[in-house]
Amino acid sequence: MTQEAWQSVSVDQLQVGQFIRLGHRWFEHPFLLNRFRIESDKEIAIIRDARLTRLFVDLSRSDASATASATPAVAQTDTDDAPAQAASTDHLQSRKNALAERVRGQHDMLSQTREQYAAAVVNCRQAFDRLAAGRDTAGADLGALAQSIVTLAAPNARSLTFAAAARPEDAPTLRACRALDAAAIAAAVGRRLGLASPVLSTLTTAALLHAVGLEELPSMMQDEAAIRDPELLTDFQQYPVLGADLLERCGGFPPDVVRIVRQHRERLDGTGFPDATPGARIHPHAPVIGAIREFQVLAERGESAMPATALAQLFRRLRSAYGPAAIDNVIATLTIYPPGSFLALTDGSIGRVMQVSERARLRPTVCLFDDTVAPAEAQIIDLAETQALSVERVLDPQQLDTEVREFFGSGWSGIAFARDTRAADQAA
């Protein structure tokens, strides 16, 4: 929606059927949304009584009979309707107050998730350093980190959540972020598969460690998405072996974890690497980690640097390679719009996915761009709980206006499980 589509109007020009935008901060008026189609004269009266003056109409989204020039007498508040009008306003305001309280709680949850994720990144990076140095404590440290993710994943109600807004500036931190993201996705997939706790821990630990072999390669070969030289690619394809060997040298890692790390890029048809192992000899959970790794690579590669596009390519190109069970469950876990995705909504607004919903895969929880408020005050809407809005299309972050990118932070996103702070406080 371009800015030119909106025409400034006065309250006396409002009509039923017009699609309007309120240029006020969303918590300064009683309506649940800043953009909506006027459905009744009472809504016009509420706008008048609330003394809202920054009003805009989009005639292209309005009913054909609605214009921006008439002055409808029916919009005036009738004395006889005053009690009903007051009741309507009170009802809207009550719903709005409840929503505002919930939004404040969601912002608090997201803030704590970012803090927890940042702390986990530091811990993961330090543990990887100990692993590279061959210290025998690395196994216990990384196992404990994986178990903490499994614990967060345990409640079925917990969803994968947007966890970071700034792209890591150095390679070791970036690898730690990718490892934690992979572990969170794997834990969610394992929960979806109904894996027993010990097996879920094995899967999550293997996801955390799947790419440690990259540390053994020259720096120019560590970024898989950037490799174009066939000879470099051949050498690169040994990273699963290097990773498994590193884990065996260090000790303290379960044999299944080592095996999954070695085999996570093998394919069921025998065309994978490093050993072209056929499906019958591949660890049954290795393809899940392979699918997660392929998603991460696709999500950061030039033309497809969008999570939703990466999932679509994963399904089209690699479903037979890693098997429907692995690919379909990874996609179902991340849903159609993974955390951090930028979306255009049906009311013309822009949102960023804060949490996915496995029960309503097309209707995630989104934070709405609003240039009238600070990001920490922006409205957050669970699309699974409202029919007023839905997703229109996925947006390329590189094509967004600068103010939108600055509002949301960047195109990068980490993935984690959010802790339910209210439940934790009650337990304490």
- What is the DSSP annotation of 102-160? HHHHHHHHHHHHHHHHHHHHHHHHHHHHHHHTT-TTHHHHHHHHHHHHHHHH-STT--E
Of the candidates 365, 385, 386, 369, which has an alpha carbon nearest to the alpha carbon of residue 377? 369
Calpha distance 159→152 (Å, rounded): 10
Q: What is the DSSP letter of 268?
A: T
Of the candidates 211, 143, 189, 127, which has an alpha carbon nearest to the alpha carbon of residue 415? 189
Please report the pLDDT score of residue 228 as a whole number.
Answer: 84
Are 187 and 135 members of one domain?
Answer: yes
Of the candidates 119, 102, 136, 98, which has an alpha carbon nearest to the alpha carbon of residue 382? 102
Segment 16-60, tens digit of pLDDT:
999 999 999 888 898 988 999 999 999 999 999 889 999 999 999
Are 54 and 149 members of one domain?
Answer: no
Strands 350-355 and 365-368: antiparallel
Question: What are the φ/ψ torsions at residue 175 (nearest 5 degrees)?
Answer: -65, -35
Length of the chain: 428
Are 298 and 378 members of one domain?
Answer: yes
Q: What is the number of domains present in the chain?
A: 2
CATH number, domain of 315, equals 1.10.3210.10
Are 364 and 222 members of one domain?
Answer: yes
Please report the pLDDT score of residue 83 as a whole number.
Answer: 65
Are 60 and 202 members of one domain?
Answer: no
Segment 52-101, tens digit of pLDDT:
999 999 999 999 888 766 555 444 555 556 666 566 677 777 878 888 89
Please report the pLDDT score of residue 96 as a whole number.
Answer: 80
Query: Domain for residue 99, yes or no?
Result: no
* Residues in contact with 140: Cβ distance below 8 Å, sequence separation at least 6, in sequence order: 252
Of the candidates 397, 411, 412, 379, which has an alpha carbon nearest to the alpha carbon of residue 35? 379
Q: How far is CA 13 from CA 22, 30, 51, 59, 128, in A?
A: 14, 20, 14, 12, 64
Residues of the chain with pLDDT under 50: 1-3, 73-75, 303-304, 422-428
Are 72 and 165 members of one domain?
Answer: no
Are 197 and 52 members of one domain?
Answer: no
Are 219 and 344 members of one domain?
Answer: yes
* Residues in contact with 231: Cβ distance below 8 Å, sequence separation at least 6, in sequence order: none
Query: Domain for residue 44, yes or no?
Result: yes
Query: Domain for residue 86, yes or no?
Result: no
Q: What is the DSSP letter of 292?
A: H
Query: Domain for residue 88, yes or no?
Result: no
Query: Domain for residue 92, yes or no?
Result: no
Calpha distance 55→10 (Å, rounded): 6
Query: Domain for residue 406, yes or no?
Result: yes
Domain extent at residue 20 = 3-77
Please report the pLDDT score of residue 305 as a whole number.
Answer: 62
Of the candidates 280, 90, 120, which has an alpha carbon nearest to the alpha carbon of residue 184? 120
Q: What is the DSSP letter of 77?
A: P
Query: Domain for residue 97, yes or no?
Result: no
Residue 146 contacts residue 135 (beta carbons within 8 Å): no
Are 190 and 53 members of one domain?
Answer: no
Calpha distance 106→114 (Å, rounded): 12
